[in-house]
Structure 1
């Protein structure tokens, strides 16, 4: 898991033109979602979806949208931050 979650290629994504950081095929998500552990990894989709695993909390999260986010091609939709944070809070209380 350490191989997948480590930061490998910091820089600007040539497709979305957003600053992105990648591990081995996964996005390094700790900077985009500071409430996640430093080894959280996953990937956002063009339709606004997001999936990740956070080894620190033991939580895996997946979200898909019924409709494309606009503008499309910009990665995870804005509601993912609030939803993922709520899931992590709920998991901490179980």
Structure 2
């Protein structure tokens, strides 16, 4: 039996999957809003993310929620959330799970 605890990256992804786009009942990870997660020096994280549209109503609050929730992981000391619109988000970024949830499959 393998009792290996989840990696830090797995735990970050788990936290990201607990954050939902308020307009769509799908989490931001499966929606494809997270472009990159990088871990530096074991306790610093950089997350590159986007929004479904540049004028998204949660443009101010969603990146802050991502930062706050990822920073709540015990060994993480610093979280840098970078918001980008390059490339612009599109439905192709969604996971099959998200497409199924939204009836797009």
Normalised by the size of structure 1, how large is the TM-score? 0.29
Q: Which has the higher strand share?
A: 1
Between structure 1 and structure 2, the one with the greater Rg is 2
Q: Which has the higher helix share?
A: 2
Normalised by the size of structure 2, how large is the TM-score? 0.27
